[in-house]
Amino acid sequence: MNLVRVWGVACRYGARAAARNLALALALLATPLAAQEIRIVALGDSLTHGYGLPPAEGFVPQLQAWLRANGEPEATVINAGVSGDTTAGGLARLEWSLADGADALIVALGGNDFLRGLDPATSRANLDAILTQAGARDLPVLLSGMRAPGNYGPDFKQAFDAMYPELAEKHGALYDPFFLEGVTEDRALWQGDGIHPNADGVAVIAARIGPLALDLIKRAR
């Protein structure tokens, strides 16, 4: 047997196999991986729910559309907003709001607490409990704040407004100081009730919160 010839054939075969394997590996690297779905639960009140708006024009669908247009095509935002809900209501339904699975959580509650004149200490305790439960689930959180009016007195306003940044810092949450930032001064962005933004106003909010939601998704991954 010509061992030299056999060795040469084997080497050529091995080289071809190695080349095929290398080509396959390069092809796999060049093929974009399927994007991972990210489920974000938005826990809130009527501002989250989309009160007075067609379903496609509320905060949740507009935020989802913004995320998908800005690099997160598989982002899904789940509407866990209930009109009239307080921080206590949000805490009470948190467990089942997350029951179908979540990768991240947006919390936008508190407006109805100050409208009802509820003790800020109680609102703080409820939000604290929501963030604690999210932490126990390893869910990154974006906490969006509200600002109390001055008609309850300076002590109420100071206690209410301060709870959001303090709780965000305590729990390591992303922080959005004011959910309605960017729309409060332009009455053309409000519905007739003067309480809820219209579709154009929601678009402003979604575009402003969008970059924070992108950071939230990075944390979720």
Q: Supply the pLDDT for residue 105.
A: 98
Catalytic annotation, pick one of 119, 138, 193, 215:
193
CA–CA gap between residue 128 and residue 171 (Å, rounded) = 8
What does the pLDDT look like over 7-50, one tens digit per residue?
A: 343 445 455 555 555 554 554 444 344 568 999 999 999 999 99
144 is catalytic: no
Catalytic annotation, pick one of 46, 97, 123, 144:
46
Percentage of the residues of the chain whose pLDDT score is greater than 70:
84
Q: Does residue 211 carry a pLDDT above 50?
A: yes
46 is catalytic: yes
Residue 150, CA distances (Å) to 37, 155, 157, 180 in order: 42, 9, 6, 17
CA–CA gap between residue 107 and residue 91 (Å, rounded) = 10
Catalytic annotation, pick one of 49, 85, 113, 196:
196
pLDDT-derived band at 173 (thresholds 50, 70, 90) equals very high
What does the pLDDT look like over 109-160, one tens digit per residue?
A: 999 999 999 999 999 999 999 999 999 999 999 999 999 999 999 999 999 9
